[in-house]
Structure formats: C-alpha cells, structure tokens
Structure 1
Amino acid sequence: MILTFIAFISPSNAKQTKPISEIFKINHFWDQIYEWRSKTQELQATQLPLPASASWPMVLAGILCFIASSISSAGGIGGGGLFIPILTIVAGLDLKTASALSSFMVTGGSTANVMCNLCTKSPKFGGKSLIDYDIALSSEPCMLLGVSIGVICNLVFPEWLITILFAIFLAWSTSKTCNSGFLFWKTESEEKRRNGFGETENGCCGESIEESLMGHQQVCKLRIPWLKLGVLLLVWLSFFAVYLLRGNKYGQSMIPMEPCGVGYWILSSVQIPLAVVFTAWIVLREENLQHQALTLEGQDLCRDEPSKKLIFPLMALLAGILGGVFGIGGGMLISPLLLQVGIAPEVTAATCSFMVFFSSTMSALQYLLLGMEQIQTALILAAVSFVASLVGLLVVQRAVQKYKRASLIVFSVSIVMALSTVLMTSFGAIEVWRDYKSGKYMGFKLPC
C-alpha cells in the first residue's frame, strides 16, 4: 500500500522504474477483478426474472463451492472462509447476500457431518462416538457469546486492520496445524513400523459411513446422550431468542428497536450472564460426574482434568470473537486450537462439525425469519453442500481406514485454512483498495 501511494503521487517516476510499473500491474489486476465482479452483477440484474441459481456465474460458483465443501467436511470445518470469497468474486454477489447463502451452505454440510458422526462408533476410542459432547457443551455458550462480541468489533475496526489481523492469525494457525499434521504422521509411521502394515485386530479403525447410514439405528440410539443434547438445545434457543429480538448486524430484527439504543445494548449484554451461567453449570456438573467416576472406576478421565476445565470455554470464546471479527464461522478457528491441546484428529473433526451445526443453523434461521431473499438459491446451495460433505467424508474415511493415518484429517484442515487465508486476504485487499481509491474513511468507526 505504501508503494502504491508513492506510485500515485509520482506518476513520472512510475514510468521510469520497473518496481513502480510492477505496482501498476498489480493495480491493473485489482481493476480486472472489479470489472469481473461488475459484469457478473450486471448479468445477475439482467437475468432478474430467472432464479439467481440459473445464471452461469452462480453455476460456476456452485461447482467451486461443491469442491470447497467436500474438502472442508473432512476436517469438520464449515467452509465459510471459502464460500464467501467464491460467491462474492465469482458470482458477483454483495457481501450481505453471500454471507446469508454461506450460512445455509455451512448448515447443509454440517448436517451431513452430524448425521454420519452420530451413527458412527469407533473401536479405536472404546466403541464410543467420535463426538465429544463434553467439549461441545462447555464450549458452545462461550463461542456464541464470542461471535456477538466479534460482530461488534467487526463494525468498529477498519477493513485494513481486519484484513491484516486475519492474515496474521490464520497464517499462524495454518502453520501450527501443518506442524501438528506432520507430528501425527510421524507418530503413525512409528506405530506402523512397530505393529507392521497389516490390518488391526478389528479390521479397520472405525465403522464406515455406509454402514452408519444403512440401518445401525440401535447403535445410534444407545450412543446419543439425550440429556446433553437437550442442554445444548436450551443454550441454542436462549441465544437464538436474543439474536432475533436484538437483530443482526444489518439492522434487521423481529421487533421495532432503535439501533444502538438502550434496548439494543441491554439485549446484547444479556448474552454475558447467559454464557457465564450455562458454562459454570456445565463445568460444575462435569466436575461432579468426574468425582463420581473417580470413586467408581477412575478411568478414561484424562481429557477432563479439573485443571483443564476452563481451557475449552476460553478457546471457544477466542474462536468466536475472531470468527465474528473476520466474518467466518468459529469451526475453522477452534479446530487448530483443539489439535494443539492434544485432542485426536477424528474427535476434533467430529466435535467441531457438531458445534458448527448449532451456530450455522442459528445464523441460517435468523436470515430466514428476518426476510431473506433468494431462498430458492440458498436451499439449492445447501443441498449441494450436503451432498459434497457426504462425498468428502466418504473419501477421507476410506483413506484413513486404508492407510491408518488420521493425520489426513489434519492436512485437510490445513488445506482449507491455507486457501481461506489466500482468498479472504485477497478479497479484503480488494475491498481496502476500492475504499482507498474512492476516498472512503478508513479509520475506526462507531458500532452503529
């Protein structure tokens, strides 16, 4: 940006030196992208009588989103960091419409993940479900609170600061996730050398998705903890009611309310005691159950030590804040954090997809109830994401079973994060460049 500023104030030097000419090539590249977006937006307008999904830019965006969803599903990530740039750059949609469609796509993909994971047992983890409901319970309230805080920060921070923070944090997370993947790969290689390359005692590392979907209903019923699901649903309904009454960041709400008025901030602050009460009750309940288990068995308690009780809520709060600031789901941000504290890749992917399901359905229903347009397009893209997630899960699970390498899940997370870093940073740079050229104010703003 500094060199570009010099190029603008020194046009004569720009013609004489090669670096400045290269800068003008970059500027020309941004202008070409803007021209592409303008043309696709004009095409959408000329085809207004037809469904938005019938235009060729939307079809191309749907194909790219199918690929993105199939890759994202393997790591239990929603994929919003890929969907939004694709819909805005390729399909030429505005950010508000792209965010709404992305929430439906994430909902479709996470629904497929949760369906498969609920009906999948893993002999590797003692025949238990891959979803760690305790982590989801203790993390979900703080994640929802963090998203609300992050959305307010998103309105206050300038675009250039959000873009820089996003690039730095996601680049760091991608690096850490890649390192975790290599460590898992090295550990798996050592285990293979010790145990040989034959099949394990049970023949595979877990039940396949096909078997899960073809009628193991009795296993599913035995494995689903209805009480914990009920508590999660209660948390979901409580925050959803606050979101509907308060309205979203675009000023839409179910009741007439003055933006940034007293009622707005009272409803916003209600989320803090909600998250604190739910988290404290869940943590204390888990601690009591742990003491009972220590008395009776004293086994399988390594992940729920008292010293680690607050790790997951704090990580969820951080992931929610960053997700709200950057405009993406928290799944992409909490997955690397879970891997860093030693949670197995299979458990991380299943648990993250379970948490993403609750947050994405809340966002999608909020858009729907507040008068969202292009509902048909949203449902089509959600179905596309649902099918793509099933395909991605099937391929990755077969690869994990065949090669006995759960690190493939970690590498899929790394791929999604790296692509999201490039796309979201480029998209943010385009928006910053447009604001700079138009002379728009680029400092900090009020939240309303």
Structure 2
Amino acid sequence: MVINLVPLLLSLITIFIIFNPSAIAVSETTVDQHQILNTTSQWLQYFPPSLNQSTIEFSIPTIIAAVLSFLAASISSAGGIGGGGLFLSIMTIVAGLEMKTASSFSAFMVTGVSLANVACNIFVRNPNSRDNKTLIDFDLALTVQPCLLLGVSVGVICNRMFPNWLVLFLFAVFLAWSTMKTCKKGVSYWNLESERAKIRSPKDDDGIEGARLPLLREDVGERGMVRFPWMKLGVLVIIWLLFFSINLFRGNKYGQGIISIEPCGGLYWFLSSLQIPLTIFFTLWICFSGSVQSNHTSHNNNQDSEKDIGQNKFMLPVMALLAGVLGGLFGIGGGMLISPLLLQIGIAPEVTAATCSFMVLFSSSMSAIQYLLLGMEHAGTAAIFALVCFVASLVGLMVVKKVIAKYGRASIIVFAVGIVMALSTVLMTTHGALNVWNDFVSGRYMGFKLPC
C-alpha cells in the first residue's frame, strides 16, 4: 500500500511543477536559502487554491485527499493505531482545511478506522490465553485509559501555553525516537520469526503449520467459547462517560459548552481538576485489584515478558499519562504513542494492535461527539470521510490477517506502526516548520503564552 502511495505523491509533485514552473526556478549562480523557504511557503497558496479554508468542496484536491485517506487508513489499521497524524496532514496540506476544521475531520476519520478494527477483533479469541480471553486486552485498557484521558487534557493545556516552535521540536524528536525504536522492535520480531521457521522441519506437517503461526501460540485442545469481559467493558464505558461529562459541562476555553460558564473562570478550572481524583481512584482500584494479567505476551519470550509486565504493572499508568500529554500536546491520538510503549514491554503485536485500536476508539469518539455538540460544520462530509476510512480499515485488516496466516509474520504489524509514525513525522514536521517560518517572517509573538 505504501508502494501505491509513492507514485501518487510523485504525480502531485509533477503536476505542481508543470503548472507552477516558477516555483523551482533558481539563480544560475547562487541559491538563496531565504528564497527557497519563501517559495515552499508559496506552494501552499497554489495547491489547493484556498489554503486554510473553513469549508470543503467537491474538487480534485478533495478527491485526492479521499484517496490518500483510504491508503493511510489501510496502513494504520494494520498497526491498530488511528492514523490521526496522517489524516491531519492530508486534510491541511491536500484538502487545504484550516487546522481547527482538519482536526474535527481527523477525529471522525480516526473513529471510523478504530471502529472497524474493534468490530473485527472484539470477539476474537487470544490463542495465547488459556482461559479463552479475547484478543483485546481489557486489563491493559483498564489500566491505561484513565491516565491516558487525563494526559490528553493536560497536553491540550500545554499546547496552548507552549510556542509552536517548541511543540514542533518536541514532536519531531519524540516521534523520530519512537519510529526508530518501533522499527528496531519490528526487525527483532522478524528475526525471531525467521529463526523459528528454520528450526521447524520442512518435512513435518506440524512444523510447516507451526512456522506459519504468528507470535501468539495456538494452544491446541483448549479452545472454547470466548469469555467476554462484560464487567470490564462496563467499567471502561463508565470511565469514558465520566470524562466526557466533565468535558461537556466545562466546554472549551471560549466557554462553548452545554452550560454557560465564564471562559477559563473558577468553575472551568474546578471541572477540569475533577479529572485528577477520578484518574487516581480508578487507577489505584484497577492496579490493586490484581486485574492485570500476564497472558497476552509473545510466546517466544513468554516467561521474561510476564516478569517484565508484572514489574511494570504500576509503570503502565505513568507511561499512559506521558503518552496522553504528548498526544494532547501534538494534537494526535494516543494510539501512535502508546503502541510503541506496549511493544517495548513485550506485548505481542496482535494484542498491541487490537488493544490500541480499542483505546483509540474511546478517545476519538469523545472528540468527534464534542465537535458535534459544539456546532461542527460539514458533519455530513466528515461522516463520508469516516466511512471511507472505515472501509479502508476493513480492507487493510483482511490483507494483514491473510498475510499473517500464510507467512506467520506478525512483525508486519510492527512495521505498519513504524511506517505510519515515519510518514506522520515527515509530513507534520514539514507542515509545522512552514507555519513556524511564516510566524517568524510575519513578526508574530513566538514565546510562551497563558493557558487562556
């Protein structure tokens, strides 16, 4: 799917050069760096015709944005992440929407991707579980979700206070580091799968079948009806509703909510602070209840992974809080940030993908509903893009599952995460750098700001 994306991007560059040859005209003697940056900024004014618009119309850039969104959703679904970084870049650079409108579209599109992923995995049995648990690790979701939601709220406040150049720098450094670690983990999984395939005897039918199994082992003779954790799902829904209610009554910094309160007044900050005791209560209750089990690890290093998860049981909320803060700070979903962390502590790629998509569904749906309640325009068009991403996600999941079943290469899930993160890093960093340059040229204030 990435191969299909490359010629399309090259075609866009070619079209731009044909219709705007002056943009690449340089002096025969010297190349002025200032002129190059200005020329690059001017490109955003030509394609699409009205950059940073608050409306979206049926046009060639819109069609191209839909095609790119389909490809991005297909890749993102394989890794179980929402792909918000790619969708934001596509809707701002290609469709030409302003960041606020693009963010609302991205929330709907991520919801579509996550919904398809969850629908395909929610009742699937984890072959590594001896008590017929689902592929989605509800224990991990319970442990991570409260701190992740709190972190997003803190990150949004930091986003208002930090200058754009600092946010861009932190984003580029963190995602570059995460991309490198994820790809390194993918190579490690690939080598383990290759070693296991060599150990199996090609003349043995069981060996051939075993070489094709993914990183999760299949416990033969212990299959049965999937034990669905309705109680844990109910707790997750309650947590989601509580956080959603707080955000609904609080509104945004402009006082836009279901009740009329003073923007950034005492009641605003009181409602915001209620998220802290809620997070502490649910996190301590979940951790001390002993619900986190070590039954979703990769079987190639099962005992070591179980030991690591047991030691990191109380570190998971801290990691989730950090991922949430970074997600809110950068304006992307937590899936792109929490997925590498889960992979690093030994969670199998299949479980990581299913669990991350499940958690992203909660956060993205919360954002989408808030946009609707706050009077979002073009909700119908956003729903169409969400439907496109939903179908693309189903296609991507079917392809990935067939590849894993045929070749036993679950490491492609890890590589899919790395591809999405790498593309997001390049696209969002480039777009952000142009905005920072425009702020510098126009003489805008580039220091720290108050939260309100």
Q: TM-score, normalised by structure 2?
A: 0.84
Match in the other structure for 1:49: none
Match in the other structure for 2:323: 319
Pairing 1:200–2:204 present = no
Letter in 1 for 2:234: G
* Bigger shift: residues 110-119 or 27-36: 27-36
Q: Is the 8 A contact 1:88 1:95 kept in 2?
A: yes
Q: 1:81 and 1:270 mapped to 2: Cα distance?
A: 29
**Correspondence 1:14-413 to 2 at 5 A:** 18=30, 21-39=32-50, 52=56, 54-126=58-130, 127-196=132-201, 199-200=208-209, 205=214, 222-248=226-252, 251-286=255-290, 302=306, 306-413=310-417
Letter in 1 for 2:230: W
SS in 2 for 1:138: helix
Q: Is the 8 A contact 1:69 1:388 kept in 2?
A: yes
Match in the other structure for 2:21: none
Q: Return 5+ residue gaps in structure 1 as ranges.
A: 1-13, 46-51, 208-217, 291-298
Q: Is the 8 A contact 2:215 2:348 kept in 1?
A: no
Aligned length: 408
Q: CA deviation at 1:34?
A: 3.1
SS in 1 for 2:346: coil
1:154-211 deviations in whole A, cap 9, x for unaligned? Answer: 000000110111000000000000110011111111111111455426985599xxxx
Letter in 1 for 2:376: M
Q: Is the 8 A contact 2:200 2:210 kept in 1?
A: no
C-alpha distance 183-333 of structure 1, shift in aligned 2 (>3 A): same
Q: Is the 8 A contact 1:76 1:331 kept in 2?
A: yes
Q: Is the 8 A contact 1:123 1:205 kept in 2?
A: no
Q: 2:307 and 2:382 mapped to 1: Cα distance?
A: 39
Letter in 1 for 2:281: V
C-alpha distance 111-370 of structure 1, shift in aligned 2 (>3 A): same
Q: CA deviation at 1:371?
A: 1.1
Q: CA deviation at 1:253?
A: 1.4
Q: 2:169 and 2:292 mapped to 1: Cα distance?
A: 44
Letter in 2 for 1:176: K
- Percent of matched pairs sharing the same residue: 57
Q: Return 5+ residue gaps in structure 2 as ranges.
A: 1-25, 217-222, 295-302
CA RMSD of aligned residues (A): 2.7
Q: Is the 8 A contact 1:41 1:93 kept in 2?
A: yes
Q: 2:97 and 2:224 mapped to 1: Cα distance?
A: 44
1:375-394 deviations in whole A, cap 9, x for unaligned? Answer: 11111011111101101111
SS in 1 for 2:264: coil
Q: CA deviation at 1:357?
A: 0.7
Q: Is the 8 A contact 1:206 1:401 kept in 2?
A: no
Q: 1:411 and 1:202 mapped to 2: Cα distance?
A: 20
Q: CA deviation at 1:288?
A: 9.8
Higher helix share: 1
Q: 1:17 and 1:55 mapped to 2: Cα distance?
A: 40
Match in the other structure for 2:5: none
* Bigger shift: residues 163-172 or 363-372: 363-372
Q: 2:432 and 2:254 mapped to 1: Cα distance?
A: 19
Q: 2:61 and 2:241 mapped to 1: Cα distance?
A: 37
Q: 1:306 and 1:77 mapped to 2: Cα distance?
A: 25
Match in the other structure for 2:14: none
* Bigger shift: residues 101-110 or 241-250: 241-250
* Bigger shift: residues 411-420 or 396-405: 396-405
Q: Is the 8 A contact 1:145 1:320 kept in 2?
A: yes
Letter in 2 for 1:64: L
